[in-house]
């Protein structure tokens, strides 16, 4: 069936050429390439600076992301907003950033502490988060996550995006409600430094 259609198209093309009608296949192809090619820089700009998809790999954010990581190879897919991603960060937000221990790797973690906070680490010691730095941790705990407990606070400049929506799997699709996720434990771990004038 498909060969018959292809043969009919070729016969039609041959008859157009033989009837001295202009053969416009090359011009049509060039026009389509230019039309679609003009969108490539726009798409590249949007992916780099506005929004992109993020695949959540591994168990470090379990059970919030990849709740079935030990049963299936399925990965959560999220929308990452990159526009002004380093500004207005709040406790509990989920961010993607360049991993300080491996600059070629993108990590996804929860913001536990902001600049000026005093953080109680998983080992029980206290760390002061310096200016323009944040403290990030995975929801999976020490056994599943490599985070600020291992490499310390990270610079805000490493943040690439804020995760705002789960897009896949479809049964879990929707807005990421980071502000509702265990706020009590986040605020117990991060305390603001008192300011004396």
Would you say 89 and 178 are in contact if contact means Cβ atoms under 8 Å apart?
A: no
Q: What are the residue ranges in the chain where pLDDT is below 50?
A: 18, 20-21, 184, 196-197
Task: Choose the catalytic residue: 60, 80, 145, 148.
Answer: 60
Would you say 52 and 137 are in contact if contact means Cβ atoms under 8 Å apart?
A: no
In sequence order, which ranges of 50-124 are alpha helices (DSSP H)?
A: none
Active-site residue flag, 13 = no
Q: What is the pLDDT of residue 21?
A: 47
Task: Choose the catalytic residue: 82, 109, 145, 148.
Answer: 109
What confidence tens digit (pLDDT) does each residue in 7-41 have? 565 556 555 554 544 557 778 888 888 888 889 99
Active-site residue flag, 109 = yes
CA 184-86-91 angle, to 5 degrees, is: 5
Alpha-carbon separation of residue 154 from 107, 148, 151, 165, 179 (angstroms):
12, 7, 8, 24, 21
CA 126-127-128 angle, to 5 degrees, is: 130
Q: What is the pLDDT of residue 196?
A: 46
């Amino acid at each position: 069936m498909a060969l018959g259609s292809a043969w009919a198209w070729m016969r039609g093309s041959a008859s157009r050429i033989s009837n001295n009608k202009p053969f416009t296949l090359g011009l049509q192809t060039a026009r389509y390439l230019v039309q679609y090619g003009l969108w490539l820089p726009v798409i590249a700009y949007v992916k780099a600076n506005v929004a992109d998809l993020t695949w959540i790999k591994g168990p470090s954010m379990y059970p919030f992301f990849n709740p079935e990581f030990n049963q299936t190879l399925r990965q959560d897919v999220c929308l990452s907003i990159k526009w002004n991603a380093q500004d207005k960060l709040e406790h509990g937000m989920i961010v993607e950033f360049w991993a300080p221990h491996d600059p070629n790797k993108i990590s996804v973690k929860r913001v536990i502490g902001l600049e000026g906070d005093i953080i109680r680490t998983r080992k029980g010691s206290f760390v002061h988060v310096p200016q323009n730095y944040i403290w990030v941790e995975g929801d999976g705990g020490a056994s599943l996550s490599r985070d600020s407990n291992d490499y310390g606070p990270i610079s805000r400049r490493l943040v690439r995006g804020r995760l705002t929506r789960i897009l896949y799997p479809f049964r879990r699709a929707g807005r990421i409600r980071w502000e509702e996720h265990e706020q009590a434990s986040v605020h117990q771990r991060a305390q603001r430094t008192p300011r004396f004038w």
